[in-house]
Chains A and B, each alone.
Chain A
């Protein structure tokens, strides 16, 4: 049981490049989230999903896209990377049950856009 797995751990992009951050969970959780954390700052919600085939915008969705074709996977796509997207990205999942709403976080992806 690996929990929430994120890849890659580190990445440097040039302005205008695109990339996909991978996130997979093996806990059969319906709810999955993408947060970004700027240096010294809090967690801002980018996108979330309540189940396969369903996604919705969070607080800061501009410049990102997501898909949820399976329960396990929730990739985050960056198109036309900008320096403002330099951040640490955390994927998380939750069972969202009446007695268990805990968020399980991945180890994060540190992204620099230069």
Chain B
């Protein structure tokens, strides 16, 4: 099955700085790469996703980049704000057994210091 590794586990940045979170995966057949944000005590919510036919996708202050050759993708948050403080999860599809399920990374706790 798919193996997903996410780094770093915690990240502390000053407000206004950029934050980068990286995920690596094992199955070269994976073709869909979402990022979820989970605020304290809340449910995870999709913030951005990318498909394998695209190298980069941006949505205001967040972007995701994909390197299929190296099998890793990254979340970039620019001009960080205190409300960006949360846990971020990457996910990768696992197609084992001809089925489909999303496997999540272990999460990155981002703290934006005012």
* Residue B58 CB within 8 A of the other chain: no
Whether B34 pairs with A105 at a CB distance below 8 angstroms is no
The interface size bin for chain B is: 20 to 34
Chain A contacts for B93, CB-based, 8 A: 101
Chain B contacts for A45, CB-based, 8 A: 101-104
Bound-state Cα–Cα, A94 to B89, Å? 17
* Residue A107 CB within 8 A of the other chain: yes
* Residue A33 CB within 8 A of the other chain: yes
Whether A42 pairs with B44 at a CB distance below 8 angstroms is no
Whether A31 pairs with B100 at a CB distance below 8 angstroms is yes
Cross-chain contact of B104 among A31, A42, A56 (Cβ < 8 A): A42
Whether B106 pairs with A41 at a CB distance below 8 angstroms is yes
Chain B contacts for A44, CB-based, 8 A: 104
Interface secondary structure of B, over-half rule: strand
Bound-state Cα–Cα, A44 to B107, Å? 11
* Residue A50 CB within 8 A of the other chain: yes
Bound-state Cα–Cα, A50 to B99, Å? 8
Cross-chain contact of B34 among A31, A58, A96, A102 (Cβ < 8 A): A102
Chain B contacts for A101, CB-based, 8 A: 32, 34, 49, 93
Bound-state Cα–Cα, A48 to B95, Å? 13
Bound-state Cα–Cα, A108 to B45, Å? 13
Which 5 A-B residue pairings sit nearest by Cβ, starting from the closest? A105-B43, A42-B106, A43-B104, A42-B107, A102-B46
Bound-state Cα–Cα, A96 to B93, Å? 11
Whether A96 pairs with B100 at a CB distance below 8 angstroms is yes
Whether A42 pairs with B105 at a CB distance below 8 angstroms is yes
Shortest Cβ distance from B100 into A: residue: A96
Whether B100 pairs with A107 at a CB distance below 8 angstroms is no
Bound-state Cα–Cα, A42 to B102, Å? 13
A11-39 contacts to B, CB under 8 A, are 31, 33, 35
Bound-state Cα–Cα, A41 to B34, Å? 18
B63-91 contacts to A, CB under 8 A, are 89, 91
Bound-state Cα–Cα, A33 to B106, Å? 18
Bound-state Cα–Cα, A32 to B105, Å? 19
On whether A43 and B99 interact (CB within 8 A), knowing A101-B34, A102-B34, A102-B49, the answer reads no
